[in-house]
């Protein structure tokens, strides 16, 4: 028999399905795009087409099974993770009434109801999250205020990973890492907040039972086993939850004092702590780790991967099959400071509750003048984008350091972690060793770890990491650390001047 783990990651942009060996080697990946629709003209309300989403998930699973061509394939478990904040409401027949992504901010219309009941601080000290317009609580209240007929049909409120688990197994459960991003969870207790549910007179039965990540919650439905052309009778389904928490597991960020950077479309930095802590300024989010007894403080550097991809797609127009490799070459060709070129594309210190305007994107660079003897080229602009991303991460890294006395261990995983040159700059800007697992697709790995743990093949995450992880450690280079202190200050001084543009 050929034992494999099937993992599904519903990220912000893709449905990603992978087959992994029981030793956590990724053997095959199939991606499908995720389409997000606008509801109404104003652009605030956004939805998934839930039928299309499910059909694409099924298609990706069927493709990966077909492509494996393995007659002895034995899927030992399916585990999933999904973008956080996204939620799905279903009716009493399990049909989706609403499915909204992490960028659905319809709650802007209903957040006033929340403010009438709780001050920002009161709600933050229960849920660890703000501002309300982003989260499921405001979405539920929006439906009660603006779409009463649909609200009346709601039977269960699910986070996106809960919904996926439901569609695969028929079981209605949530987990702390998913539920923590709803503004309905009592972060300290890792349970739905009775206080919030009662304050808004919500039906407590809306909310599914909470299990810890790594729990076998049921079996893949028989009709799906048949639909996916899998030659097995039973396949356990194991809960994971939020994609960034899965990513932390996949990096090995499981100990108090570990900071993991999930380098995807955005770059959340999450500090692992042993007891819940709430930022007195209500800025940095408090969340639940996938590990029982571990919590997180999150500082978010913003659209890091999105900035990188935008630059790559817009400015790298040379014929090459691998633009990422070309950008790595540009980084090798250039020095810190990028020929006095500075980029301001968004990555910066988290300040989400005061984000009342979207800053303009800016490049600052020496223009062609008679006295100029060195002008920036495309490689300098590429470096400036990477430096902007690392400066944004740095500001959040410093902020997280203020929550602990320990010197943190720093991990990173995800798409941009594949670039060695990026990790070198990151280590120098952060003045820290950067630990990266050999396999950078950390959300797949973390999700698959829950299958190993859920099936009892390993007693805990630490054993899995000890047995199966190999790390690439990037150490800082003293001469560049000092350069970057000066360059960051220069970047920041200019930023302070242009933020009001």
Partner 1 sequence: MSDFIKIESCLKEIENRYLSTEKVRKKLADYDDTIQLRFLDSGRLVLFLINKDQAIEIKDRSGDDNAPVKIEFTSEQVMLDLFNKELSAIKAYSAGKIKIQEGSIRKLMKLKSLMF
Taking a C-beta distance cutoff of 8 angstroms, is the pair 447, 246 a contact?
A: yes
Tokens of 38: 């606008």
* Cα atoms in the Cβ-side hemisphere of radius 13 Å centred on 224: 22
CB of 194 to partner 1, least distance (A): 25
Paired sense of beta strands 409-414 and 258-263, if any: parallel
Show the DSSP H helices in 69-135 as ranges. 111-117, 120-127
What angle, 0 to 180 degrees and rounded to 10, lies between the N-to-C axes of helices 420-430 and 378-401?
Answer: 50
DSSP of 231-260, one letter per residue? --S--EEEEEEEHHHHHHHHHT--STTEEE
| 350 counts as binding partner 1 under rule CB under 8 A | no
Binding partner 1 (rule: CB under 8 A), the pick from 25, 35, 42, 152 is 42
Kindly tell me which residue out of 72, 92, 233, 358 binds partner 1, with binding defined by CB under 8 A. Answer: 358
Does residue 198 bind partner 1 (CB under 8 A)? no
Element (H, E) at 271: strand 268-273
Give the DSSP letter of residue 340.
Answer: G
**Does residue 43 belong to the site contacting partner 1 (CB under 8 A)?**
yes
Regarding 39 and contact with partner 1 (CB under 8 A), the answer is no
Candidates 72-80, 229-237, 284-292, 354-362 — which segment interacts with partner 1 by CB under 8 A? 354-362
The reply on whether position 360 binds partner 1 by CB under 8 A is yes
Nearer to partner 1, 23 or 115 (CB): 115
Q: Does 133 bind partner 1 (CB under 8 A)?
A: yes
The verdict on 122 binding partner 1 (CB under 8 A) reads no
State the minimum distance, in angstroms, from the CB of residue 308 to partner 1. Answer: 19
Q: Does 44 bind partner 1 (CB under 8 A)?
A: yes
Which residue in the set 23, 35, 145, 313 belongs to the binding site for partner 1 (CB under 8 A)? 145
354 binds partner 1 (CB under 8 A): yes
* CB-facing half-sphere around the CA of 71: CA atoms within 13 A: 0
What phi-psi label fits residue 78: left (phi over 0), alpha (psi between -120 and 50 degrees) or beta? beta
Residue 354: CB minimum distance to partner 1, A: 7
Q: Is 315 in the site for partner 1 (CB under 8 A)?
A: no
Rank residues 44 and 469 by Cβ distance to partner 1 and give the closer one: 44
Q: Which of positions 82-111 make contact with partner 1 (CB under 8 A)?
A: 108-109, 111
| Alpha carbon distance 19, 4 (integer Å) | 6
Site residues for partner 1 per CB under 8 A:
38, 41-44, 108-109, 111-112, 115-116, 120, 131, 133, 145, 353-358, 360
């Amino acid at each position: 028999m050929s034992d494999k783990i099937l993992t599904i990651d519903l990220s912000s942009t893709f449905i990603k399905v992978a087959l992994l060996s029981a030793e956590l080697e990724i053997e095959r990946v199939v991606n499908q795009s995720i389409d997000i629709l606008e509801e109404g003209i104003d652009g605030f309300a956004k939805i998934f087409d839930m039928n299309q989403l499910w059909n694409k998930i099924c298609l990706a699973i069927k493709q990966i099974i077909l492509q494996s061509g393995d007659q002895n394939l034995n899927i030992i478990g399916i585990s999933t993770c999904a973008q956080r904040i996204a939620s799905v409401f279903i009716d009493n027949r399990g049909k989706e009434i609403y499915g909204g992504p992490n960028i659905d901010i319809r709650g802007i219309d209903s957040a006033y109801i929340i403010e009438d009941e709780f001050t920002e601080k009161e709600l933050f000290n229960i849920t660890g999250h703000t501002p309300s317009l982003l989260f499921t609580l405001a979405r539920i209240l929006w439906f009660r205020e603006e779409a009463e007929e649909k609200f009346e049909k709601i039977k269960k409120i699910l986070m996106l990973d809960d919904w996926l688990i439901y569609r695969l197994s028929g079981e209605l459960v949530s987990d702390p890492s998913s539920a923590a991003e709803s503004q309905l969870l009592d972060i300290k207790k890792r349970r739905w907040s009775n206080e919030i549910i009662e304050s808004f007179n919500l039906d407590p039965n809306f909310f599914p039972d909470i299990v810890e990540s790594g729990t076998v919650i049921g079996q893949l439905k028989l009709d799906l086993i048949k639909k996916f052309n899998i030659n097995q009778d039973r396949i356990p389904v194991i809960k994971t939850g939020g994609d960034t928490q899965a990513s932390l597991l996949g990096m090995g960020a499981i100990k108090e004092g570990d900071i993991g950077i999930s380098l995807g479309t955005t770059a959340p930095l999450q500090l692992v702590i042993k007891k819940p802590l709430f930022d007195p300024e209500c800025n940095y989010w408090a969340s639940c780790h996938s590990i029982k007894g571990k919590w997180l403080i999150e500082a978010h550097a913003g659209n890091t991967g999105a900035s990188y991809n935008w630059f790559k797609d817009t400015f790298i127009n040379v014929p090459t099959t691998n633009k990422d490799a070309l950008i790595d070459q540009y980084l090798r060709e250039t020095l810190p400071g990028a020929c006095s070129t500075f980029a301001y594309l968004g990555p910066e210190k988290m300040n989400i509750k005061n984000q009342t305007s979207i800053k303009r994107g800016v490049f600052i660079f020496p223009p062609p003048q008679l006295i100029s003897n060195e002008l920036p080229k495309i490689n300098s602009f590429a470096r400036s984008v990477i430096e902007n991303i690392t400066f944004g991460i740095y500001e959040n890294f410093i902020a997280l350091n203020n929550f602990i006395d320990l010197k943190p261990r720093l991990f990173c995983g995800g798409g941009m972690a594949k670039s060695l040159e990026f990790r070198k700059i990151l280590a120098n800007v952060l003045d820290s060793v950067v630990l990266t697992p050999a396999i950078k697709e950390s959300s797949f790995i973390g999700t698959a770890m829950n299958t190993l743990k859920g099936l009892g093949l390993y007693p805990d995450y630490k054993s899995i990491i000890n047995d199966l992880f190999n790390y690439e450690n990037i150490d800082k280079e003293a001469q560049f650390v000092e350069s970057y202190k000066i360059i960051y200050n220069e970047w920041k001084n200019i930023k302070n001047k242009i933020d009001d543009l």
